Chain A
Amino acid sequence: MLGFILSRVLQAIPVLLVVGLLSFVLFAYIGDPVSIMLGQDHTEAQRLALVAELGLDQPFLIRFGRFLMATVQGDFGISYRLAKPVGPLLASRLPATLELAVTATVLAFAAGVPMGVYTGIRANGLVARLVMIVSLIGVSLPTFLMGILLILVFAVGLGWLPSFGRGPVSAIGGWWTTGFSSWAGVRALILPAVTLGLFQMTMIMRLVRSEMLEVLRSDYVRFARARGLTDSAINFGHALKNTLVPVITIVGLQFGGIVAFSLVTETVFQWPGMGLLLVQSVASADIPVISAYLPLIALLFVTINLVVDLLYYAVDPRLRFSA
């Protein structure tokens, strides 16, 4: 078990190194920090002095090494746009994005799995067919359109929920902020979370459904029926558990995607998370923020993959012995 985790962590290192290289190339070769920092009026001597001070005259490998050391220590440089250290800046945006992503994923999972099981069991029922047709909309409507439609109906039309922002937040432990502390904060979370989770939900539902249809035809389900087990024991105990391995994979990867690419939803709802920060940074060519975002997301994906592997391990005993 420990060896398994260790080998996965070791495998992650080259991935992170490659991403770090990309991020470094982005950081070092796009734009010219020296001319940005000096402005237009400067002498050649001033320029060379700054180049030496920043270490830009050093060989590539040494600069890359320094970059890696700094990155590992959480030093991502200074944002051009906001003139603040990038590390704390990203950290201050992280809670908003994670809270949104986790809420969206929990919603998607909590609604998607039961609906998938239902449409799998009653594959030919009227309700199941209707749900499948409606779910096509969830899969095919782009997120920004869905967000705007939801704002139109629930914020503008009915006036039930706020259309933008995170509402009041309270700090926990110095660095985390949460919107769950007040009803207004929760209300502000609903529309963005539904927007972000809808696509995941329909995908989980369709995946669970097709897996259920497959598993319900299997010999062991037939044998479970022949043993006289109850329908609920068969559907939720024997069949559902066997559908979980692919579902866990997809939910895990989707969660990474939700965090990394929540920028659309965050832009639509002006949600003060990392996605919105990224969009604003791209707009103003704030390279340090962009190049710090890259290794951060890579780290997130690597972590999620490890968690997914460990979940497989928990669900499927066959993997425990071959691993």
Chain B
Amino acid sequence: MTPLLEVTDLTVEFPTRRGTLRALDQVSFSIGAGEVLGVVGESGAGKSLTGAAIIGLLQPPGRIAGGTIRLEGERIDTLPPDRLRRIRGRRIGTIFQDPLTTLNPLYTIGRQLTETMRTHLPISESEARDRAIGWLDQVGIPAAAHRIDAYPHEFSGGMRQRVVIALALCAEPRLVVADEPTTALDVSVQAQIITLLKRLTRDHGTAVMLITHDMGVIAETADRVAVMYAGRIAEIGPVSDVIRNPAHPYSRGLMDSIPSMAHRAERLRQIDGAMPRLNAIPAGCAFNPRCPSVFDRCRSDRPVLLPAGNGQAACWLHG
């Protein structure tokens, strides 16, 4: 069966005056229908860039330099801009990080919802309005029929993110790219938003690519998880395996650095060193200078994704 989204050897480059920077390097993964794939990694690992490449909204001069992106078997990375635009919102929805800035301040939320639906669906203005009220209701906006004519600034951050979720889902896409959907929110609101996102996507059978650096969110929400490091996928597998039994030394370091309520540690564990800059990625495995289990081959040969347990890891320990 064809997966809903299949990304193969995706490479994204930024041409600069001092040479070309490779920000994503042969990233491959797939998402099945209705599946939630978590994507984790530290800042600059390429998580958001992967999402932007999929929806065709890389910021110039960034460009896809290689690989393919297929949506339901159809190749979408080479589509002309207008065909790709019709996919955005209709077949792939997007949720951004900061709900305070993602809504246009000058239009009512109702107008933004009906505009999105009428761009993609053959429905009348009044039907779009009815559906918009329905969506606001589904995302938990109280008195939706009344609030539909309110402007974004009349809502709190958490409420606005609910509106953003309604906007991402209103044309009923099969896939939603959620780029750090809770990072900008109050901790008390984060759980509500994640629960809402989980419930809605399950009810509508929508697959989610959930980009975050919050392992707690991943553990709670995702079916599978991809760990990214320096523009590459270090490990990908079922979420319980990656959390309990990480196969890549980087994932292991990441899991060890999560503070635990059970063990009172004096200091949090950390991975020594920092992720390499894009213009200084070492030969072989990008993680080798920081890796506790490094050996000769790691410094010369670049590991590909190898079977490890129930998942795959880009690590020679599994070669």
Interface on A for B, CB 8 Å cutoff?
218-220, 222-231, 233, 237-238, 241-242, 315-318, 321
User: Judging by beta carbons under 8 Å apart, are B151 and A318 in contact?
Assistant: yes
Contact status of A229 and B96, CB under 8 A, knowing A223-B103, A242-B104, A315-B106: no
Q: Count residues on chain B whose CB falls below 8 Å from chain A CBs.
A: 31
A228 touches B86 (CB 8 A): yes
Please name all residues of chain B whose beta carbon is closer than 8 Å to the beta carbon of A230 when the two chains form the complex.
85, 119
Determine if B103 and A220 form an interchain contact, defined as CB atoms under 8 angstroms apart: yes
Whether a CB of chain A sits under 8 angstroms from the CB of B162 is no
Q: Which of A219, A223, A228, A242 contacts B85 (CB 8 A)?
A: A228
Indicate if the CB atoms of B151 and A223 lie closer than 8 Å: no
Hey, which chain A residues are within 8 Å of B101, CB to CB?
A: 218-220
B residues 64-103 with Cβ under 8 Å of A?
85-90, 93-94, 96, 98, 101-103
Instruction: Say whether A228 contacts B151, CB under 8 Å.
Output: no
Q: A219-B98, A317-B151 are in contact. Are A227 and B106 (CB under 8 A)?
A: no
Q: Are A227 and B105 in contact (CB under 8 A)?
A: no
B256 at the binding interface (Cβ < 8 Å) = no
Q: Are B115 and A228 in contact, with the CB atoms below 8 A?
A: no
Please determine whether A220 and B104 come into contact, CB atoms closer than 8 angstroms: yes
Contact partners of A222 in chain B: CB under 8 A: 57, 96, 102
Separation in Å of the A166 CB from the closest CB of chain B?
41
B285 at the interface (CB under 8 A from A): no
Is B167 in contact with chain A by the CB < 8 A criterion? Answer: yes
Contacts of A227 in B (CB 8 A): 88-89, 93-94, 116, 119, 167-168
- Inter-chain contact B119/A228, CB cutoff 8 Å: yes
Contact A228 B120 (CB under 8 A): yes
Cα of A225 to Cα of B151 in the assembled complex, Å:
20
Q: Total contacts A to B, CB within 8 angstroms?
A: 78
Closest to A226 in B: B94
- On whether the beta carbons of A223 and B102 are closer than 8 Å, the reply is yes
Of all chain B residues, the one with the shortest Cβ separation from A227 is B89
Separation of A231 and B87 alpha carbons in the complex (Å) = 14
Contact B85 A317 (CB under 8 A): no
Q: Are B85 and A316 in contact (CB under 8 A)?
A: no
A223 to B168, CA, bound (A): 9
A229 touches B115 (CB 8 A): yes
A220 and B115 contacting across the interface, CB-CB below 8 Å: no
The answer for the CA separation of A238 and B103 in the assembled complex, in Å, is: 10
B95 to chain A minimum Cβ distance, whole angstroms, is 9
CA distance A158 to B112 in the complex (A): 52
By a CB distance below 8 angstroms, the chain A residues around B164 are 223
Q: List B contacts of A321 (CB < 8 A).
A: 153-154
Flag if B153 contacts A228 (CB, 8 Å).
no
The 9 closest A-B pairs by CB, nearest first: A228-B89, A226-B94, A228-B88, A219-B101, A227-B89, A223-B102, A317-B151, A220-B104, A227-B116
A188–B87 CA distance with the chains assembled, in angstroms? 54
Query: Does B286 sit at the interface, judged by CB under 8 A?
Result: no
B55 within 8 A of A: yes
- The residue in chain A whose Cβ has the minimal distance to the Cβ of B102 is A223
A231 to B, closest residue via Cβ: B85
Alpha-carbon distance between A237 and B114 when the two chains are bound, in angstroms:
14
CB distance from A1 to the nearest CB of B (A): 16
Chain A positions within 8 Å of B55 at CB level: 226
- The verdict on A226 contacting B106 (CB below 8 Å), with A219-B98, A317-B151 known, is no
Which residue of A219, A316, A317 contacts B96 across the interface (Cβ within 8 Å)?
A: A219
Shortest distance in angstroms between A229's beta carbon and chain B's nearest beta carbon? 6
Name the distance in Å between B287's Cβ and chain A's nearest Cβ.
32
The reply to whether B116 and A242 contact each other, CB–CB distance below 8 Å, is no
- B106 and A224 contacting across the interface, CB-CB below 8 Å: no
Residue among A225, A228, A317 having the largest count of chain B Cβ atoms under 10 Å: A228
